[in-house]
Each structure stands twice: as structure tokens, then as C-alpha cells.
Structure 1
Amino acid sequence: MKFEELIMQETQEKQTTMDLQHQVEQLEEELEDELKLSKILQYALDGPIHLCCPCLSAQTNLPFKIKELLTELATVEDEIKWLEKKVEKLNLNLYLEKKYTREWELQHLKSLYPNRHHRPRKQSLRRHQNRSKLMGSEQDLHKRRSSFGSSVDTKYDKLQLSVSDTKNPNKLSEDLIQCLIAIFLKLYQPLLDGEEMLPKQISCKSFISKSTFNCTAPTFFFNNNGSRYLDPYATLLDFDGGIRDIGPYKTFTQITRNTLDHTRISECSKEVGKLCIMMQKLCSVNLNLLTYKQKLAFWINVYNACIMHAFLQHGLPSTQEKLLVLMNKAVINVGGIVVNALGIEHFILRHPSSSNHGPADEREMLLRQAYGLGFPEPNVTFALCRGSWSSPALRVYTSEDIVNELARARVEYLEASVGVVSRKKVLVPKLLQCHIKDFADDMESLLEWIYSQLPQSGSLRRLIMECLNDETKSSLAKMVEIQPYVYEFRYLLPS
């Protein structure tokens, strides 16, 4: 072998050795990177990915897809952690809500049963005197009371308080108001003299002179046959001195402060028990699938039940200010949302209040979005009962016949609350003036609207027509005299 060839062979061997060493070094570096990557992936599998973030930031040579995948995993882990905290918070709120609900039920029962074994206080000496002389009129009242109460009891004997009640909110609302009516009827103790005096706030027209004075006439009148009729709004007499027909209101049962005996609450244990169960079921109702008519009937019943329940809880308010306070205290849980009577009336059943109270607040928007009717029904004016002397009668409304029921309520309220005291003066209740925009543009058109709503055969329509014929168009507004709103407690119940 030549010397040159030997030299070349040695050079090639050295180069081969160097190449092999270089390849080994590269493989060692790749192995180190793979080991680091394996360690990072193992951390990701064994524990939270966010702990690997320092390692990720230090590894600039990691594949892009792996970095992207690990970043997504870190994001998902953060979302899972946030959701777990939210679930824990909701569980805590659910626990507290159940706790407060139990406390509320206990307080509610205590308020209804301050002393379960407490005997009713003795009635005043006046109620025990001359009982035999008044037995006839008392029996008449008792028959009316028992006929109404028996129908309520019969319905409640058939009432099935099952889970399915929450799937039928309208049936639940009807049963709720029926139960409260049954309680108030059991607390009802009619006066033995058969007469009640109007509250001093009611201003009525003298039929002898043209002066206005505080009316202290009895709220009952007797016809030629000796039958006793109720005159709930002191409008029964016409300007000729006769007694006109005020419609069905004349036979209603009147429950006032003087005839409501709270000491009889111990006799209502059955109804109170059912009331508590239905209040609990009301918390779980679902109103999403209800039609407009179903929602309308449901919320009218719930509104009236809310106020009746507040009377049992907090007692009867003695002033206008205390009644407004009670309206705020009158709260009820419907489908998990707690609302009060004012919220139901102004945020759900009536027009938006933005024109009078500024932009709608967050709570109003929430109620309208969750429970709003979509468009208001003006006739709720004749169905919402605040339990005051000037309120319309209390009834149970059904989704199947709500339109006709509201129409009857409107006509019957107008017949009883509107009066004609002279050929130039028509008494109009304050309630209509407060909601005049629902029915007319001004007082003149309101009077014409009242006339158009009354039955054609009724005497009130004839009397108003005589007034309209005697006056010119420009003086119609002067014919109207507003009957002040009286906030004293009273319920009118159809017999």
C-alpha cells in the first residue's frame, strides 16, 4: 500500500469517527428533549396543568401542537375549577334557602298560632245581650255564610295536594285563594244587630240638602218585603229617594275589622296546614308554558292571595300609610322568585311604570322578563282586591273563563260603585280616576264609557242618561264627583 493511501485511510476513519460522535451527541440531545417532554406530559397527566406552565415557558423547542394542546388543557382546567366553585356556592345557597324556608314556616305557624291552646277571648257584653231578639237576622246571615263556606269545604275535601299540583299553576292558584277565603269565613263573626256603620272617611251625598258630609248611615237597606240588601259603596239611593238595584253586590258577604275574629284562628288548623303546603308548592311552579289567559288568571289569584296571607301574618293596617307598608311586606315565592304585591300589580299585570317613576330598574326588568304578560289587561282594575273598603269584590278567577269573568267583574263593580245623587251630579269611585287612562282620555269620556258599560235594563244607566240629556257636552266633566278612596279593611265575598 502506498503511503498516500494509508494517510487517506486514516483521515477517512477519523472523519467517520467524528461523524459518529456528532450523531451520538445529537441523539443524546434529542433523548434529553424527549425525556423533558415526557416529564412535562407526565406532570400534565398526574396533576393540574397550570403547574407545568414554568416548564412550558422554559421549553422554547417544544412542538407547536404540543404547546397548543397543553395551553387548551390549562384553559379547560381553569374553567372546570371555576365551575366547581360555582357549584359549591349554589349548593350553599340551596342549603341556606332550605334553612330560611323552614325558619319562615315556623315563624308563619307561630304567627298564626300564638298560643295553640289559648281560648278565644270572651265576646263583649253587647254581643251576648238580646241574642234571642236578633236570632232571626243572625240565622239569615248564617245561612248565607254557611252556603258559601260549604262549597269551599266541599272543594277542599276533594283537593289532592300532590306533586302534580306544581305542573298546573292555575289549579294551584285557585286552590290557594279558596283556602284563604275559607280561613277568613271561619274568622267571620257577623254583628248581631245586623248593621255596620260606614268608616268616617267615606263622603256621601245628602239626599235632603246639597251639602256633603261624613256619612254615618248603615251599609244595609231593607226593601218593601223586608229583605236586607248590602250597599257597599253608599250609592244605593238615587236622587228621587228610591232604592235602585245595584246588582249582585247587594247580596255579598261583607267582612270588616269589626266582624273578623282573630281568636278563632285555632279553628282553622286544617286550612292553615293546606295553606302551608300550597305555599311551598308555589315555589316550584313553572310558568313558561302558560298561555296569556292562564298567566292572567294565575297572577290575579296570586296577587289577591298574597295580600290575604299578609293580613293573617301582620294583622290589619289602621291607616293608609300602614296599608302601603303592608303591601311591601306582602311577599310570596313564585317559581323561586320572591315578589311582593306591588311588584305583581305594577311590574306584571299593569302598564310599565317608566313614565311615572323614571327608567325601569333591574328588578322590574327581571320580573317583566320572567313573568310579564306581554301586554297588560285594563280590566284587572276590577279584579285586584287590596282588602280595603273601596276595593272590588274578591273572587276566584279561572283560566278557562277569565275574559268573561273579568267582564262580569267590571259591570258588577260599576253598578255598585257609581251613583247618581242629582240630575247634575254623578258619583265616580277614586279607583276609576286613578286608572282613567285604561278606559278613557278625560272625565267626559270616562262618564260616557261608564254609561256604555252598564246593562241597558239597569236603573243606573237610565239615571246617567237623564243627567247626560240635561247637560251640554262642555259641562260633562263638572257632573262628576269623585268618591274618595277609603283604605279601611274590608272584604266583599260573593255569596
Structure 2
Amino acid sequence: MVRCMKDIFISLADSTISSKLSGLESHYSSLSPHGHLSSSYTSSWVRSPQIDIQSEVLAADDIHDPFRVHGKLSWADIGSYALATEVSWMSVGKKQLEYAAGELRRFSELLVNVSMSICANFELTECCFGGQDSHEQAAQVNPIHLRHNEKLGFWINLYNTLIMHAYLAYGVPRSDLKLFSPLQKAAYTVGGHSFSAAAIEYIILKMKPPLHRPQIALLLALHKLKVSEEQRKFAIDTFEPIVAFALSCGLYSSPAVRIYTAMNVGEELQELQRDFIRASVGVSSKGRLLVPKLLHCFAKGFVTDEKLAAWISRFLPSHQASFVEKYVSKRCQSLLSSRSCGILPLDSRFRYLFLPEKLSP
């Protein structure tokens, strides 16, 4: 389901679709880096003469920088994010619609485990709606009996799929605040119960109200999610804070989308957390550590601001970690510096990053 939605989004963003996407990452890498669909980024940050920067620490001009932030000096090693395919807009041209319609028909065939209750007038979504058969098939599935890792992978994949499907059904929200409505309206029926995206995130996956998105946190407080006791039985066993790096709302600041497996979901989440940190933090030209708000709010559950740089360094290659500690330490010792970290605000523009699938050995 995630793979199918990914292909639909890529097809709607690519103005040169001439044949059916094969799903091969070699195809994605061949797409023009000058369009809105791109797996190639250009670094435009100027290295400051005020800092004695080691060339191997910072990114060269041809290194990917998926979270482009003005004034940021990017890392040379950002893990899987270096291979991410970006979709920052979607077209409704004839070729794109024809391809997407075919993929949505394929998507409907995959709905053997869930059935949709999205009410929409988007012309493509009519291909997705399952009839009586899909509802009967959905009733046969009961995630209550899945093991913890199986539940985790299942609900993360379902959430990311549902958000993408909601964009096709309702359109792209113009702001993070306006995303709350489709979070409540868009829903899949699983095991005979309807689960909205908001219910999956905050009840089933037990995520806390997002401190990095205060408007959403406020709306959650004002609009209590109505979930039955039976539905709560579908929830994961224990809260996993690291899931924050796996859920994508299609915002510029959101983590990338990947497919999670029950067997390796723990390792996959750890890997994505590490790669998100490497791809999204940096050092300004004045030696200030730049941290996205999502990461800053997440880290508050583990460390104080004074120890944030040291905590982040744990996820960086040794030479980069030394670089961070060196220059943050210098800044802390400066009488003119009151804070060693700069918090990058949430960017609510529409954008998806899709990570390539790993080939089986």
C-alpha cells in the first residue's frame, strides 16, 4: 500500500511520465534534478571564514541537503536521506491522471486487510473504494492478535498511507493547522472499526500531543478523540517515542516515508532516527548548532538543552561529533553567547521525501 501510494505521488509530480514506473530506484535517480520531483539537491550555503572548518566534515556542493535551511552548513554523510526522492507538488495533467488512476485501481486490489471510509469528490479516488468484498475481507483481520513489532509496522505503514490518500481525496492543506480536519475525517476500517489518522497517531500508536506543532496540540485538547474501548485494544503495547521519526504528514519538516517490516521494525526506526538527525541538523556560519523543532521537542524527553549537542553527537560519525562538540564548546565559553543551539521552526509547506527500498540479499 505504501509503495503504491509512493508511485502515485511520484507519477503526479513527474511531468515527463511516458511509461509505467517500474519501482526501480535507478529510474528515480534518472529524473531531472531541475523539476519538482528530484532526488538531487544543491547546497548553496557559504562557508564562513570565521570558523576553521574541516572540509571532510561539511558537505560539498554536490551533496544532498533535503532540509535546506538558509545559513546551514550541511553534513557530508546523511545516510539514507541522501537517496530520498522529493515530491513538492502534484500535477493533474492527462498523463499523470491516467497513470495514477491505474495505480489506484491496483491500490484497491491491495485492500484485503483494510477498507476505506474516506468520503471524497476527488475524481481518482473512486477507483479505490472497496465494495462489499473488501469490507468482508477487512472484517477477517484483527490486529489485536498481532505481536508488538507487527502492530508497530502495520499501524505506521497504514498511517502514512492514509495521510497520502487523504491528500488525494481532500487536496493538500494550505497550512499545518488545516491538516487537522483531514486527520479526523480520513479513516480506514480495520477489523470492523473505523480509525482516523488522528486516532491511529494518538490512540493506537500512543503518541503525545506534538509540542513542535502547538496548534495541533491545542486542537487535540479542544476536540477529544472519540474512540471506543474495543478500539483501544488495537493499540500497541508500549509507547515508542522513536515513532516520531516514522510518521510523515507531508510537511516540509516531516520525516521521510519508508516501508517498515515486522521483522526489523526496531532496527529500521533506529536507523531512520539517526539518518533524520544527520540530515536535519547543522552548524551555522557562527558555530551555532541548528536543530529542527521536531528533534528539539523529541530530545526534551531525554536531555536538557545544555546537553542537547552532546546527545545529538551520539548519532553523528565521530569526526562530525568532534566538530559539533568543539565549536559548541567555544560558543558556550563566549561572553556574547547565551545559547549554543538555534531551533529551526516547523516548515508547513507541502513536501514528501520517499526513501528507497533496500534490496533483499
**TM-score (norm: length of structure 1):** 0.52
- Rounded to whole Å, the distance in 1 between the matches of 2:238 and 2:223 is 16
Say which is worse superposed, 483-492 or 266-275, in terms of deviation: 266-275
Q: Is the counterpart of residue 492 in structure 1 residue 322 in structure 2?
A: no
Q: Does the 8 A contact of 1:300 with 1:384 survive in 2?
A: yes
2:75 and 2:304 map into 1 onto residues whose CA distance is: 30
Query: In 2 relative to 1, CA 411–237 (structure 1 residues): closer, same or farther, beyond 3 Å?
Result: farther
Question: After superposition, where does 1:47-196 map in structure 2 within 5 Å?
Answer: 176-189=1-14, 194=34
Q: Take 2:338 and 2:108, find their aligned partners in 1: how far apart are those partners?
A: 49
Distance 1:274 1:407, change over 3 A: same
Shift of residue 343 of structure 1? 1.5
The alpha carbon displacement at 1:181 in A equals 1.3
Bigger fraction of residues in helix: 1
Deviation at 1:279, TM superposition (A): 3.5
Contact 1:427/1:482 (CA < 8 Å) preserved in 2?
yes
Residue of structure 2 equivalent to 1:143: none
Give the aligned partner of residue 234 of structure 1: 68
**2:91 equivalent to 1:261:** yes
Aligned partners of 1:252 and 1:492 also within 8 Å? yes
Query: 8 Å contact 2:46–2:71 — kept in the other structure?
Result: no
1:479 maps to which of 311, 326, 340? 340
Quick one: distance in 1 between partners of 2:327 and 2:206?
33
| 1:154-192 CA distance string (max 9 Å, x none) | xxxxxxxxxxxxxxxxxxxxxx11111122222231696
C-alpha contact 2:252 2:349 (8 A) present in aligned 1:
yes
Pair 1:373-2:236 in alignment: yes
Between the two proteins, the alignment pairs up a number of residues equal to 292
Asked if 1:462 corresponds to 2:325, the answer is no
Is the contact between residue 45 and residue 70 of structure 2 (CA under 8 Å) also seen in structure 1?
no
Q: CA RMSD in A?
A: 3.5
Q: Does 1:308 align with 2:169?
A: no
2:82 corresponds, among 245, 250, 261, to 250
CA deviation after TM superposition for structure 1 residue 371, in Å? 1.4
TM-score, structure 2 normalization: 0.70
Q: Which amino acid counterpart does residue 414 of structure 1 have in structure 2?
A: I
Provide closer, same or farther for how the CA distance between residues 247 and 343 of structure 1 changes in structure 2, counting only shifts above 3 A.
Answer: same
Cα 1:387–1:370 shift into 2, 3 Å? same
CA distance change for structure 1 residues 465 and 209 in 2, over 3 Å: closer, same or farther? closer
Closer, same or farther: CA 376–322 of 1 in aligned 2, 3 Å = same
1:299 aligns with 2:299: no
Match of 1:166 in 2: none
Q: 1:367 to 1:254 in 2, by over 3 A?
A: farther
Change (3 A) 1:360 1:234: closer
Change (3 A) 1:358 1:320: closer
In structure 1, C-alpha distance between the alignment counterparts of 2:285 and 2:272, rounded to whole Å: 26
Percentage of matched positions with identical amino acids: 29
For the structure 1 residues 281 and 244, does the alpha-carbon distance in structure 2 shift closer, same or farther, using more than 3 Å as the test?
Answer: closer
Distance 1:352 1:253, change over 3 A: closer
CA distance in 2, matches of 1:374, 1:462: 38
| Kept in 2: contact 1:347–1:367 (CA 8 A) | no
Task: Give the conservation status (yes or no) of the 8 Å contact 2:251–2:347.
Answer: yes
* Structure 1 residues without counterparts, runs of 5 or longer: 1-175, 198-203, 211-220
Q: Deviations over 1:25-63 (max 9, x none)?
A: xxxxxxxxxxxxxxxxxxxxxxxxxxxxxxxxxxxxxxx
Greater RCO (Cα-Cα under 8 Å, separation 6 or more) = 2
Deviations 1:215-256 (A, max 9, x none): xxxxxx974xxxx443111259866xx873333322311111
CA contact (8 A) 1:236 1:419 kept: no
Highest Rg: 1 or 2? Answer: 1
Which of residues 304, 307, 315 is equivalent to 1:445?
307
Which shifted more, 470-479 or 422-431? 470-479
